[in-house]
Amino acid sequence: MSTSHLVESYRFWEIVALWAKELLEHEDVVARALARGIVRDGLRFLSVDPKWLKPNKAEVECLGYPYVGYCAKQNSHMIMLRVEALEHLLAIVERAEIPAHDLLHELFVSRDDFRVWLQATNQTLPDFWYGNEKRQEV
């Protein structure tokens, strides 16, 4: 078993690099697919880890950064994103901007949320994160 199969979450550009290498695709192609997944399909990338939020407090401590709640589909879970990240994701999807490392570096996704999106969009589980599970299912 590879240690990457034990990782609970990856950052945006870590997934882009690992998945692009596995698919033999350019990183921009994978980054655009992930951006589309976040903006249109409800892929749950976050800028704020829910574990950092205090459950007894009504307000979220954002340390001065502007955040926004975003929901890609009706009746799906809301995600918290930095405003700059959401604006850039929308620009990638709607205006074909080039994905920028500095604007998306803090986004991360959990292993379970990534699997839900892959299954909902009928994509195969990538080996870099789920390789051991695919072998066990066979």
Residues 64-119 have pLDDT tens digits of 678 888 999 888 888 889 999 999 999 999 999 999 999 999 999 999 999 999 99
Q: Once rounded to an integer, what is the mean pLDDT over residues 30-38?
A: 97
Beta bridge partners of 82: 67
How far is the CA of 96 from the CAs of 33, 36, 72, 88, in angstroms?
11, 11, 18, 10
pLDDT at 80: 87
CA angle 106, 107, 111 (to 5 degrees): 130
Residue 116 lies in a domain: yes
Residue 136 lies in a domain: no
Q: What is the pTM of this model?
A: 0.84
b/e per residue 65-98 (b: at least 16 CB within 10 A): eebeebebeeeeeebbbbebbbebbebbbeeebe
Residue 137 lies in a domain: no
Residue 13 lies in a domain: yes
Residue 123 lies in a domain: yes
Distance CA 3, CA 35 (A): 26
User: pLDDT exceeding 90 applies to what percent of the chain?
Assistant: 64
- In eight-state DSSP terms, residue 111 is H
Residue 68 lies in a domain: yes
Radius of gyration of the chain (CA): 15
Residue 77 lies in a domain: yes
Q: What is the domain count for the chain?
A: 1
Residue 138 lies in a domain: no
Print the domain residue range for 31: 7-130
